[in-house]
Each structure stands twice: as structure tokens, then as C-alpha cells.
Amino acid sequence: MGTAKRASRRHGASTLTLLCAMAILTAPAIAGGTAYAAPAAPVPSPAPPAPGATPGSPVAPTPAPGAKSLEQTRKDIEGLYRQAGSATDAYNLAESETKAQSERIVEIAKLVVAGQDRISGLKARAGAAARAQYRSGGLPPGAQLALSDSPGQFLDGANRLRQGEKATTDLVSELNRTQSDLERYAKDAGALWQKMEENRAKQEAAKKEIEGKIKAAEELENKLEAEEKARLIQLEQEAQYKAQTQWLSTGALKEAKGSATDAGKRAVQFATAQMGKPYVWGATGPNSYDCSGLTSQAWLAAGKAIPRTSQEQLRLLPKVAMKDIRPGDLIIYWDDASHVAMYVGDGAMVHSPRPGRSVTMAGVGSMPIKAVVRPDA
């Protein structure tokens, strides 16, 4: 096929995609009055019509006997990226735990230094008391007064003797307590160090898995011709649009009329402002994000620190019913909670999908939903 002809077909595909996006945005509401449309300026990902419906759409070549269809290749690539996403969450969790453990070890080291200084001071006090006793002939001043023939001096000496005994007991108790604290600090530091090393090993294992899955997915995609790659993107959008339409038809958002809080508005504004920036696993901005990197940074920009990973966001943030969802809430996807997005309203969400894609907007129901959580409950 000539260069001009290929360019013409690509131009036709681009025009079709734009027209489809406009059609979706202006389509009438469905499923209880909620249509897939963004509440603000950013435009949701388009959902083109079925292949072959309009002249100019790219046509997938017929696979050779025994070869995989483009749709099966799409599913294989999606599966590999999903596995990479799950490993990315494990990597991020291990990284955040390692950081927390490292910070705690630093705190313990400071406590150890303070405890050692305390013991040095206590030993100095004990030494001073021992030297004073030696100079007085082996008896402390209080004991000497207690042995006096004068009744007044005897009572005064007895009182001083009791005070001295208490001071000595307190000194020994404090010394023992401080030494016990140091032993506990050493034990805690050792346990934290072991966990930190275990987490580092988990990070390395997760990193290798991530890199392997991404490489395998990229190799599959790189084998495709330019027209097949364009068709692959169209197939992805069609699958998402189909899932979104089916989900909306259940009436899942029929009662969803929640309004964003001020913090929620700020989080949505931050997240949508990142649209177009690439997905990079482990990234938290400002130039690239993974899925939970985007949501955690969006809420941090809104003034609220939330867990770093999608699994921890699911575990630690309050859950809300879909009928109560409001802009700024986080949607956790897949059974393993390996993906997260932010609800922006009108059936749409913003997310960082996967390697090779950029932060974009899509339908809330374009993937299987596990739960909805609220950072500013």
C-alpha cells in the first residue's frame, strides 16, 4: 500500500474517532438519567462504533491459520498489564513499608543515644555518692548523724538516712529501667531491620515480575503493524464502551446525586489536570503517574494524605455505597484491588491506565468494580 494511501486511511480513522467522541458526549442520558460525560473541560475517552460500520475505519487483517486474532492479542496484552499492575501495587506497598521502617529505625537510634547519655549521667551520680561515702569513713552523713548522742541530731540523721536510701533506690531503679529500655530498643531495631530487608527482597521480586510482564506485553504489541495497533486501540475503546453501557443499564448510578466537597473538588481538579501524562509504574508525579500515584497525589494536593497503594486505600479508607458516590471518591477495581481511579461525576472517572497509555478519562463501569472508598469521609 502506498504512503499516501496509508496516510489517507489513518486520517480517516482519526476523523472517525473524533466524531465518535462527539457523539458520546452529546448522547442522551441512559440508565437512570446518567450519561457518560465529564463535568468539566476534559473530554472522556471516545467509544467508537462497531468495526466496519463506517467507511474509513481501519480493518484488521485476517489472521493466518493458527495465529491469534487481534481481539485475543488485546486480551493477552490486557492480562499481562493487569498482572504488572498487581505486582506494581505489591512493589509500592513494600516500598512504603520499607520507608516507614527506615524512619522508625532512625527514631530508635536517637532514643538509644539519649538512653546512653542518661546511663552515663546516672553512673556519674552513683560514683559521686560512692566517693562521698568513702571520704566519710564508709558511712554516709545521714548514718553518722543517726548514731549521734544528741536526740535532735539523731532524728535529723535518721531522716537524711531514709532520704539517702530512697535516692539510692531510685537511682538504681532508673538505671535498670534505662538499661531495659536500651535492650528493648535494640530488639525493636533488629526486628525492623529484618522486616526492612524482607521488604527489599519483595520489592526486587515485584520489580522483576513487573518488568517481565511489561516486556512481554510490549513484545506482543510491537509485533503488530501500524494499522493493527490503531485497531487495537479501537478494540480497547469498544470493550470499555460496551462494559460501561452494560453497567449503566443496571441503574447503578440511578440514585447517585452526591456533590463534591471543597477538598473533593480540589482533588478532581488536580487529577484531571494531569491528563495526557504517561503511566510509569511506581511514579507519583509530577511528570508521570501510576494509578495509585495519581489518586494519592491528587488528595495530597487537596490537603489530605491517604495510603499510597490501591490495596491500602481499599483497606484503610471508609467504604461507601455506589448510590452515595460523589466526585473525589476513589473506585477500586478488580478482585485483587490492583487498580484505582477517581470519580469525577456523570458516570466518568479519571485514571492512569497502564504502561503505554496516559492519564485519561473513562467510564466508571469500564472495568469490574470492587468497591468505592472516600478519602474525606
> Mind listing the pLDDT tens digit for each residue in 37-75?
433 333 344 444 443 334 444 444 444 444 568 888 888
Q: Which of 74, 207, 231, 351 is catalytic?
A: 351
339 is catalytic: yes
Sheet strands side by side (includes 360-363): 319-320, 369-373, 330-333, 339-345, 348-351, 360-363
Residue 331: exposed, middle, or buried by beta-carbon count in 10 A (0-12, 13-18, 19+)? buried
Per this entry, what is the length of the chain? 377
Residue 319: predicted pLDDT: 97
Please report, as a single letter, which amino acid is at residue 77: I
Give alpha helix (H) positions in the chain. 3-25, 70-135, 141-146, 151-222, 226-249, 262-273, 291-301, 310-316
pLDDT single digits (tens) 287-345: 999 999 999 999 999 999 999 999 999 999 999 999 999 999 999 999 989 999 999 99
Residue in 7, 80, 10, 15 with CA at minimum distance from that of residue 46? 15
Residue 200: exposed, middle, or buried by beta-carbon count in 10 A (0-12, 13-18, 19+)? middle
Residue 369: predicted pLDDT: 96
CA dihedral (154, 160, 166, 167) in degrees, to 10, reads: -150
For residues 327 and 261, give the distance between their C-alpha atoms in angstroms, rounded to a whole number.
Answer: 8
351 is catalytic: yes
Residue 134: predicted pLDDT: 59
Q: Which of 206, 248, 291, 314 is catalytic?
A: 291
Residue 178: predicted pLDDT: 82
For residues 64 and 46, give the distance between their C-alpha atoms in angstroms, rounded to a whole number.
Answer: 30
pTM of the model: 0.60
Residue 144: exposed, middle, or buried by beta-carbon count in 10 A (0-12, 13-18, 19+)? middle
Q: Which of 339, 354, 370, 374 is catalytic?
A: 339
- Could you tell me the three cell numbers for 98? 520499607
Walk along the chain (377 residues) and give the pLDDT tens digit of each residue: 443 334 444 334 333 333 333 333 333 333 333 344 433 333 344 444 443 334 444 444 444 444 568 888 888 988 888 888 888 888 888 888 888 888 888 888 888 888 888 778 777 776 666 666 556 555 555 555 555 556 555 455 555 555 555 666 767 777 788 888 888 888 888 888 888 888 888 888 888 888 888 899 889 888 888 889 889 889 999 999 999 999 999 999 888 888 999 999 999 999 999 999 999 988 999 999 999 999 999 999 999 999 999 999 999 999 999 999 999 999 999 998 999 999 999 999 999 999 889 999 999 999 999 999 999 98
Fold of 3-61+225-373: endopeptidase fold (from Nostoc punctiforme) (3.90.1720)
